[in-house]
Chain A
Amino acid sequence: MKILVCMKQVPQKDAPLKLNESATWIRDDVSYEVNEPDAYALEEALRQKEKHGGEVVVITAGPARSQTVLREGLAKGADRAIHLEDAAFVGMDALNVAKVFVAAIKDEKFDLIFTGLQSDDYGFAQTGVIMAELLGWPHATIIMEIQKSDAGIRVKRELESGFFQHVTMPLPAVLTIQSGINKLRYATLLGIKQAKNKPLRKVALEEVRSAAGANLQKIEKLYLPQKSKKTEMLEGAPGEVAKKLVDKLRNDIRVI
C-alpha cells in the first residue's frame, strides 16, 4: 500500500505563548513539535507498510522550521517527504491547505491518505475530510484500528461513551487517525542518519498557488481568557447539599 501521511508542526504544548502584535496568532519564538495525532498517523502508516509492503510518504506545509517534522518522519521509517515550504501556509485555512496538498500530489497514486484527527493548535479537524471531498474519495474519521481486506479496508471508529463503529470501505480512502491507536516508536540513530539521504521534494508556494483561493476563514482576534473565579455555597442539610451537588455536577457542569 502506498500511504501519504499529512503532518503538521505545532507549538509545544507547554510552550509559553505570546500573542503577535496584531493579536491574530502567536509569536513564533517558541518550541515546536509534531502534532500529536499526526505522530500516531505516521506510526500507523509505518505499521501498515510493515505488514503489507508499499511506501510511506510524509507531507507538510509550513516555513523552513517545519522540515523538522519531515525529518522525524523519515528517521522513523518514511521513505520520502514533500515540503510545501512557505511561511504563508501557517495562516492558511483548512480548505486551502487541503487544496494545496491535493495539488502537490496530483501526479501520485496513493491508496491511503492519513491525517491526524485534528491539530493541537487550530483544532479544526477539517483538512483530511476536505481532501477526501476534493479527491472524490471516501473517508472515515477518529480511526482506532485499520485492517486490510480483499475489497479494501475495515476500520474501527471511536464514537462517544465507549462505543465503536466498524466500517468497511474501498480504497483509495482518507482516514483521520486518533491519538492512542498504537504505541509510538522511537527514532534510532541509524534511522536519523539514513534520513539525511532520503528524498525530500520541496514545493514552492507559486507551484500550488493557483489551486488555492482566498482564505474563507480567518482569525479576527486572539486573547487570553479572563480568569474569573466564582464560588457558590450550597446550603441545607448534608443530604440535600449532596443532592444539589450531584445535580450541579451532572446538569450544569456536566462532569458526571
Chain B
Amino acid sequence: MIYFRKPIEGIERPQMEADVTIVGGGPAGMACALRLSQLIDKHNRRYPDAPLSKENINVLEKAREIGQHCLSGALLDPRSMDELLPGWRREAPLDAEVEHEGVFYLTKKKAHRLPITPPPMRDHGNYVISINRFTKWLGEKVEQAGITIFTGFAGSELLFDGDRVTGVRTDDKGMDKANQPKSNFEPGYDLKSKITVLAEGTRGSLTKQLVGRLDLDKHRNPQVYGVGVKELWEVPSGRIRKGEVIYTLGWPLTTKEYGGSWIYGSKDSIVSMGFVTGLDYADPRLDPQRVLQQFKTHPYIAHLLEGGKMIRYGAKTMPYGGWWSMPPLAGDGWMIIGDGAGFLNSQRLKGIHLGIKSGMLAAEAAFEALLANNFSAAQLKSFKEKVDASWVKDELWEVRNFHQGFENGLLHGLFHATLQQLTGGRGLHAIYTTEAGHRRMKHLDQLPADGGNRAQLLGKAKGDGKLTFDKLTDLYHSGTKHEEDQPSHLVIHDTNICNTRCVVEFGNPCQHFCPANVYEMEEAGDVPHGKSIHLNPSNCVHCKTCDIMDPYEIITWVPPEGGGGPNYDGM
C-alpha cells in the first residue's frame, strides 16, 4: 500500500499575515524580493512619514539552503543583473566570461563544426556561472536587505477566497509513511498574503493548481518541456578553455527527437556538461539519463573527459513553449514569474536573465499595489503591461514560433527557424501551434521491438564507472536526501492504470524517463501482468519530468517535507 502526501485535514492551523509571499527562492524569486526591497527603501527615503514595511515580505524556499535545488548550465546574460544591481560583477560568483564558442553537428563517429556560429548561440559577453552559487549569493543580498527567507518550507497548497488567491499553506512536517502525524508533527502554516508571487520554477506545483482551477491554459499553446540531465566534471587541464562554450546537435538523438548538449568550460578545470532531451519523444523506452551516457561515448566527447572525474549530477526540466504558451501572468492576489510562467528563450537556451527581469517587473507591480492598497486583477495586470513594454517581450516575441517549428523533427525545424529568422520570428504562420509533449508518445506495438534506429537511446545505461554511469551511481552524486518516513510526494491518482493499462500500452515509461530511479516495476503475484508499481520517493531530484511526461496524466508532483531534495552544490 502506497500512501500519498496530502495536507492533513480537520486540524487547527497556525496563521500568519503577510503583505507579499514569494514562493520559490530561485533567481526570479530573489530578484523580485530584492527589487521590492529597493523600491520600498527608495519610497521610505522620500516619504519618511509614510513608510512601507518590509517586515511582512517573505520568500518560501523548499530547499534546506538557498540555491540547493537550482540547476542550469549555466550561462548568464548579464542584461537584467545590470539593471538590478549596478556593479554586481565585482562581487557575484562568476566563473568565466565566454570567450570561445562552437556549434557541432554530431554523427555517430564524427563531429562537424558549423562554419559559423548561428547568431542566437553567440555568447560573447555572457558568463559561465554555477547557478547554485549565484543564487546563494543573491539570497545573501535579499537577507541583508531585511527580507525573511524561510528555507526548508514549501508551498503545499494555495489558499483561495472564491477565485482570489489569499495566500499559501506551507508543508506539514512530521507526517509518517501512512500519512499519520508523528510525535514531532508540525502543521503547515496558513500564510495569508495580500499578494502571492509564484516563483516555483519549471512546472511549479502551486502554479499547476492555479492553472487548473482558473483554466489559465485556455486559448494558448500548451506548455512543452525538455529535461536537462547534467554532470559536472573535473578534467585534466588543457582539455577545454575557461570560458569556452560548445553546443552539439544530432547524435545520439535521431532527427526526430528534439534536443542537444552543452559543454561549458568553467574555472578550476571544471566542465559543466549535459544533454537536454525534448519531452515530446515517441518511444516510451527512451531514457534521458541514458542519452547523456551514450552522448559521452562519442569519440569527441570521450576524449574531452578522459582521465577526468564526474563530481556532481542532477536533472531539471525546462519550459520551451515560449510566448504562445505563457499563462496569464497575474490575477486577483497572484502573479507568476520565472520558469513557472515560461520566461525562457528556447532558441538561445537561456532563461535566467528573463526570470530575473520578470521578478523585477513583478516587484514593481507589487510595489504599486501596496501603495494603492489594491491587490485585484485590475491592479496587478500592470505586471503584464510592464512585461509587454520591456525588452522581455522583444526577446521572446522574436522566437515566439521557434520551438514549435521543430515538432516534426530537426530538418523541418531548421527550415522553419531560418524562415523565422528572415521574417522577424513569424515564419509560415502567425501563430505556430503545438501539442503537449506526452501526447506524442506511441504505444509499444507501434514501435520496433528492438528500438530500430533509436536503440541507443532506450533502456537503462549500464555504465563503465569511469566515463559512463548507471542511474544509481549518477543519482548518488546529486546529494539528494529526504526524510524517509513520510508519505510519497509523487502522487499517482490511480495505480491500477500503471499495473493494468500502462504496463501493456507503454511499458511503464516512468521507469525510463525519471532520471532519479524513483519509479520501478516490481514482480508481483496479485496483478494481471505480474508487475506492480513501486516508488522510491527519497530518490527524487525534483525535476518534474514525471508530472509532465506521464502519458495518462495521473502523476502529480507535490513538494515533500521541506528541506528534502537534491544538493546541487556548485552546479
Contacts and interface: CB of A to CB of B under 8 A. Distances in A.
Are both chains from one complex?
yes
B567 A186 contact: no
Interface string A185-196: 111111011001
A192 B14 contact: no
Given A14-B567, A31-B567, A183 B182 contact: yes
A16 interface: yes
Nearest to A11: B569
B311 A187 contact: no
Contacts of B481: 14
B479 A190 contact: no
Contact of B184 (A15, A31, A185): A185
A59 to B, nearest CB: 22
A196 B64 CA distance: 18
A184 interface: yes
B191 A189 contact: yes
A245 interface: no
Interface in B171-198: 173-174, 182-184, 186, 189, 191
Nearest to A13: B481
Given A31-B65, A186-B174, A189-B191, A12 B186 contact: no
A150 interface: no
Contact of A188 (B65, B189, B312, B569): B189
A185 B16 CA distance: 20
Nearest to A196: B148
B184 A183 contact: yes
A87 interface: no
Contact of B570 (A12, A29, A184): A29
A189 B153 contact: yes
A190 B311 contact: no
Nearest to B18: A189
Interface string B126-170: 000000010000000000000010101100000000000000001
A31 B312 CA distance: 14
Interface string A171-187: 00000000000011111
Contact of A15 (B16, B152, B569): B569
B205 interface: no
B312 A16 contact: yes
Interface in A1-36: 12, 14-16, 29-31, 33
A164 B570 CA distance: 44
A186 B133 CA distance: 26
Contact of A183 (B14, B16, B183): B183
A225 to B, nearest CB: 15
Contact of A187 (B65, B148, B152): B152
Given A16-B569, A31-B68, A31-B567, A189 B184 contact: no
What is the size category of the interface that chain B forms with chain A?
20 to 34
What is the size category of the interface that chain A forms with chain B?
10 to 19
A190 B45 CA distance: 29
B570 A16 contact: yes
Contact of A185 (B150, B186, B311): B186
Given A185-B184, A189-B153, A15 B174 contact: no
A27 to B, nearest CB: 10
Given A16-B311, A183-B184, A196-B148, A190 B569 contact: no
Nearest to A183: B184
A190 B481 CA distance: 26
Contacts of B68: 31
A181 to B, nearest CB: 13
B311 A184 contact: no
A190 B14 contact: yes
B479 A15 contact: yes
Contacts of A193: 16, 148
B560 to A, nearest CB: 14
Contacts of B14: 188-190
A18 to B, nearest CB: 9
A188 B567 contact: no
A127 B110 CA distance: 61
Nearest to B65: A31
A189 B189 contact: yes
A130 to B, nearest CB: 31
B441 to A, nearest CB: 34
Given A16-B311, A186-B173, A186-B174, A31 B569 contact: yes
Nearest to B562: A186
Contacts of A196: 148
A15 B477 CA distance: 9
Contacts of B173: 186
B569 A30 contact: yes
B184 A184 contact: yes
Given A31-B569, A196-B148, A190 B16 contact: yes
A192 B570 contact: no
Contacts of A14: 479, 481, 567
Given A14-B479, A16-B312, A186 B148 contact: no
A183 B185 CA distance: 10
Interface of B: 14, 16, 64-65, 68, 133, 148, 150, 152-153, 170, 173-174, 182-184, 186, 189, 191, 311-312, 477, 479, 481, 567, 569-570
18 contacts: A12-B479, A12-B567, A14-B479, A15-B567, A16-B311, A16-B312, A16-B569, A29-B570, A30-B569, A31-B68, A33-B64, A186-B173, A186-B174, A187-B152, A189-B150, A189-B153, A190-B16, A192-B150
Query: Nearest 10 CB-CB pairs, A to B?
Result: A186-B186, A186-B173, A14-B479, A183-B184, A189-B189, A185-B184, A31-B569, A183-B183, A16-B311, A31-B65
Given A183-B184, A189-B14, 19 more contacts: A14-B479, A14-B481, A15-B567, A16-B477, A16-B479, A16-B569, A29-B133, A29-B570, A31-B68, A31-B567, A183-B182, A185-B184, A186-B186, A188-B14, A188-B189, A189-B170, A192-B148, A192-B150, A193-B16
